[in-house]
Amino acid sequence: MNKLITFEGVDGCGKSTQLKRVSDWLRDLGHDVITTFEPGDTPLGKEIRSLLLAGDFVPVPETELLLFLADRAQHVREVIQPALASGAWVLCDRYSDSTLAYQLAARKLGDSAANLKEMLVFAECGVRPALTLWFDVPVDEAMRRMMKRAEAGEKATRLDDEAESFHERVSFAFKQQFDDNASGRIARMDAAQGMDDVEKQVRDVLKQRFGLSA
Ligand code: TYD
């Protein structure tokens, strides 16, 4: 069984906190767990991440898409596939749904004639998530959380600093992907709730989908 779970949502949705909590929970249950993220969780990917997000350069949208896909292919081959082959759970902070939401929808690259969804499939190297947790939170609440983080000294990335309208397009795209998700791969978490409530929602989905007990 493929045990890849991806965590998705707008910046500030709380998915990274939940990823950490799920990994602790699964480990307590005795499972092998690898946690990882995109972009940047390989040595080459770290360089790509810096090119993409540090803000020293502003890539045109086409370049931005290609760099995210380059990071993904490297990540799948170098980290995700070997981890899945070893039988571990792989919890990945962002994957192709982010590219659909940020580059194809919010940057409007999906309006072009090229079939970019095929490029997304190519970069996945055959690896699809068994389950995607979508942390749904209103954009104004997500932006409020991001502002709090900035006040606490956390450095914003080039994309965090995009206008609210950009984040609204990202948010709408995630909702659309959830609505179109005939296979049921994507599960919606109400991420406007407190962290403990969201954690319970996540555990309930994992118990139901994978027959985990605890
Ligand atoms: P990061 O600092 O890792 O934060 P987050 O906790 O929000 O994931 O920032 C990654 C940024 O890259 C985030 O703004 C989303 C964006 N992104 C894309 O635009 N396309 C993609 O394919 C991926 C994986 C991320």
Tens-digit pLDDT string for the chain (214 aa): 799 999 999 999 999 999 999 999 999 999 999 999 999 999 999 999 999 999 899 999 999 999 999 999 999 999 999 999 999 999 999 999 999 999 999 999 988 877 899 999 999 999 999 999 999 999 999 999 999 999 999 888 899 889 999 999 999 999 999 999 999 999 999 999 999 999 999 999 999 999 997 7
CB 13 within 8 A of CB 191: yes
pLDDT attached to residue 139: 95
**Atom 11 of ligand 1, nearest CA residue:** 159
- Give the ligand 1 atom nearest the CA of 15: 6
Q: Map tokens 């380059």 to a residue.
A: 70
Backbone angles phi, psi at 9, to 5 degrees: 155, 175
HSE toward the beta carbon, residue 115, CA cutoff 13 A = 3
Tell whether domain 4-210 is in CATH 3.40.50.720. Answer: no
Torsion of CA 52, 10, 2, 187, to 10 degrees: -170
Taking the C-alpha atoms of residue 19 and residue 6, their distance in angstroms, rounded to an integer, is 9
How many angstroms is it from 131 CA to the middle of ligand 1? 19
Q: Which residues line ligand 1 (CB under 6 A)?
A: 11, 16, 37-39, 68, 93-94, 98-99, 102-103, 157, 159-160
Taking the C-alpha atoms of residue 77 and residue 56, their distance in angstroms, rounded to an integer, is 28
**Atom 10 of ligand 1, nearest CA residue:** 39
How many angstroms is it from 213 CA to the middle of ligand 1? 32
- Give the ligand 1 atom nearest the CA of 94: 24
